[in-house]
Chain A
Amino acid sequence: MPMPSRKDRIAEAAFKAFFAAWVALWLAFLARELVVKNNIRDYAALLSRDIEGKHAYVTGDKLYAFLDYCKNNIPENGTYSITGMEEGSIERRRAVYYLYPRMESSDPGFIVDISEYALKKAKE
């Protein structure tokens, strides 16, 4: 078997160093993902829940229960506007998603006040 050239030896050493660093970082960030960021706790909580329970967990149990209440009390063709929550917040986007086919409107039938967890009729 011919002796590997100097260039080949350098390439092999560089590859070994790269691969070792890659694997070390991969395992470190995988562990961080699971343990430090506490995803294991989330997974354990989600495993025991049904689909509605999972929606409640990712949205927040209290907010999801309130949105469920709104869903049951706003007619399907009804309109609403959301107050007490930042315009572009993820909770607001989730609320719009859960409440559809009820639509957000500038001339709403209902006010969904998330800061007070209250549903009010806009027009008495």
Chain B
Amino acid sequence: MELIGLCSAIAAVLFIGFNILCLIMGRFDGLGITETVFISYGIGIGFISLEMLLFYIAGWKFSIPALLLPWTAVVAAGLVIARKPLRSYWLTKQSQKIDCFGLRPRNDVIAISFLSVFLKFGIALEVAYAFFRALIRPIEAYDAVAIYAIKSKIFFLAKAIPETYFPSLVHGFPHPDYPLNIPLAETFIYMAMGSMNDQLVKIIFPLFFVGILVALYFAIRRFASRAYALLFTFIIATIPQFNAYATNAYQELPLAFYCFTGSVFLFRWLERRDDFRYLALSAVMAALSAWTKNEGAMYCVINASIVLWASLTARVRKGGSNKPVYAAALYAFIIVLIILPWAFIKRKYGIINDEINLANLNPLYMVRQLHKLGPILYELQKQLFGPKKWLILWPAVIAVAALKYKELFKGVTGYITASLVLAFCGYIVFYMISYVDVVFFASKTWSRFLLHLLPLTILWLACLLKEDIKL
């Protein structure tokens, strides 16, 4: 019975997410089928949890019918929008035998070589192991229990976010300011299962793991062969730290998924700049990253800065046309719209982070914290050069950056480099303005922060090496 509930919950998440995706994209000429499934999954999780937060604002209790009912309008609209393009896709595919998803034509089908079999086997093994590791244990890791699972238990037992939750209850548990995307998604699954099975609910996390693999594969497929895309998918799948965090119910991989897809669709928009659907989709994913973890807000700022920069430079080139500026406004508007309910609640109840105060983000304070740079960089190098968690990824990244320094800031690769550099700088600033002992903080968190930008780093490697590795 629990399994049926779990499958129904995942199906509902996918279906709702798919229909929202239909509304954003209008037609499906740029996404692969598997990619569509996992983007729908991420959107579905994010929007259902946002809906649950709106239920709190409205003073309503949770029930599965009540939570699904508001989506019928979206589903109806999505079906109308999706019906034509999906039909035309199948007809085109049948009659012309071409790929309509914006991927490279399939004339580069790889021979069944030992390498391709090995890469597929490696990826399948890691995916299977991630699901096994996640589902063999209930939620038990420190933050997963202390910060997130306790919240989903509170919501499930009350069949609501209790009225007293934000005014008082939340302060009895660590980090009241952490966003509620995943705790509310867990609550939704508990409700569909009809019980608080904190073992089965962990399926959320390996699904995000596969979502990142799929999103990375398709992002690389747009400029390279299948074998090349498989190689980099294999590389990310086999990183021990990446697999471990697909199984422990921490929020790092959901956040990494939203950040990464937010960046990928932003870069797709930057390639041509005439298709605002990708810009809108990027803004939605970036906003959902801020709804998943506080660090997501940093990625929203980075992406918005890139959109603004690209818009302003385009405006100069286009002789003062306002069209590029609208792009930046649209991006900011979508992000603000999505994070508004959570920002409203935090402000209303005075919920703040007790470790980091953004008011400290001023030059004078930063100069006084410069002594923290040593421990921050020391802890970072321990991550970069220790093979236990990352194998030899980061030395390879440093070597490629050194050898390809002329290409680092060219074209779209330049935007990826800028995103990564800004994210690294952002984390260093977090450490500097934090009240927590810097050695403790950096030693406990660098390994997690690096996960957030790992998929983008692998995409960056794939972009830089596409002329050098012949597969």
- Give residues of chain B (456-470) contacting chain A, Cβ–Cβ below 8 Å: 468-470
**Residue of A26, A43, A54, A55 with most partner-chain B CB within 10 A:** A26
Contact B136 A15 (CB under 8 A): no
**Interface: A96 (CB within 8 A):** yes
| Smallest beta-carbon distance B95→chain A, Å | 36
Is there an interface contact between B392 and A103, defined as CB atoms closer than 8 Å? no
Interface size on B, residues (CB 8 A): 30
Cα–Cα, bound, A100→B149 (Å): 11
- Determine if A51 and B470 form an interchain contact, defined as CB atoms under 8 angstroms apart: no
Q: Are A8 and B470 in contact (CB under 8 A)?
A: yes
Contacts of A94 in B (CB 8 A): 140, 145
Q: Is the CB of B146 within 8 A of A54?
A: no
* A58 and B138 form a contact (CB under 8 A): yes
Give the Cβ gap from A17 to chain B, nearest Cβ, in Å.
11
Closest 8 CB pairs of A and B: A93-B146, A58-B140, A11-B468, A26-B238, A25-B391, A97-B145, A46-B136, A90-B142
| Chain A residues, CB < 8 A from B373 | none
Q: Is the CB of A21 within 8 A of B392?
A: yes
**A94 CA to B147 CA, complexed, in Å:** 11
Residue of A nearest to B238 (CB): A26
For residue A29, CB closer than 8 A to chain B, the reply is yes
Known: A12-B470, A29-B388. A97 touches B146 (CB 8 A): yes
B150's partner among A22, A25, A96 (CB-CB below 8 A) is A96
Question: CA of A21 to CA of B470 in the docked complex: distance in angstroms?
Answer: 19
Residue pair A97, B391 in contact (C-beta under 8 Å) = no
Contact status A22-B153, CB under 8 Å: no
**Given known A-B contacts A22-B391, A93-B146, A29 and B154 have beta carbons under 8 A apart:** no
Q: Is B70 an interface residue (CB 8 A)?
A: no
**Per-residue B-contact encoding for A53-64, CB less than 8 Å = 1, 0 else:** 011001100000
Q: How far is the CB of A74 from chain B (nearest CB, A)?
A: 15
Contact of A25 among B136, B137, B154, B392 (CB under 8 A): B392
Q: Is B199 close to A, CB under 8 A?
A: yes
Chain A residues within 8 Å of B388, by CB: 29
- Please measure, in the bound complex, the distance between the C-alpha atom of A90 and the C-alpha atom of B144, giving whole angstroms: 11
Q: Are A18 and B396 in contact (CB under 8 A)?
A: yes
* A84 adjacent to chain B (CB < 8 Å): no
User: Beta-carbon contacts of B386-404 to A below 8 Å, as 1s and 0s?
Assistant: 0110011000100000000
CB pair B150 A100 closer than 8 Å: yes
Considering only CB atoms, which chain A residue lies closest to B244 in the complex? A33
With a cutoff of 8 Å between Cβ atoms, the chain B residues found around residue A47 in the complex are: 136
How far does the alpha carbon of A117 sit from the alpha carbon of B388 in the complex, in Å?
38
Residues of B within 8 A of A46 (CB): 136-137
B414 within 8 Å of A (CB atoms): no
In the complex, chain B residues whose CB is within 8 Å of the CB of A55? 138
B138 contacts A97, CB within 8 Å?
no
Contacts of A11 in B (CB 8 A): 468-469
A113 at the interface (CB under 8 A from B): no
Task: Indicate whether B240 reaches chain A with its CB closer than 8 angstroms.
Answer: yes
Measured between beta carbons, the chain A residues less than 8 angstroms from B238 are 22, 26
Min distance, Cβ A77 to any Cβ of chain B, angstroms: 12
The reply to whether A58 and B137 form a contact with Cβ atoms under 8 Å apart is yes
How would residues 27 to 65 of chain A score, 1 for a CB under 8 Å from any chain B CB and 0 otherwise? 001100100000000010011000100110011000000
* B65 part of interface (Cβ distance < 8 Å): no
Interface string of A70-97 (1 = CB under 8 A from B): 0000000000000000000010011011
Contact string, B34-54, partner A, CB cutoff 8 A, digits 1/0? Answer: 000000000000000000000
Q: Is the CB of B469 within 8 A of A22?
A: no
Tell me the residues in window 216-269 of chain B with beta carbons closer than 8 Å to chain A beta carbons.
Answer: 235, 238, 240
Across the interface, do A100 and B240 meet the contact criterion of CB distance under 8 Å?
no
Please judge, given known A-B contacts A97-B149, A97-B150, whether A15 and B469 are in contact too, CB under 8 Å.
Answer: yes
A47 to B132, CA, bound (A): 10
| Sample of 13 A–B contacts (CB below 8 Å) | A22-B391, A26-B391, A30-B240, A43-B132, A47-B136, A51-B197, A54-B199, A93-B142, A94-B145, A96-B146, A97-B150, A101-B154, A101-B157
Q: Shortest CB–CB separation between residue A98 and chain B, in angstroms? A: 9
| Chain B hits for A15, CB < 8 A | 468-469
CB closest residue in chain A, given B146: A93
CB-CB nearest in chain A for B199: A51
B363 at the interface (CB under 8 A from A): no
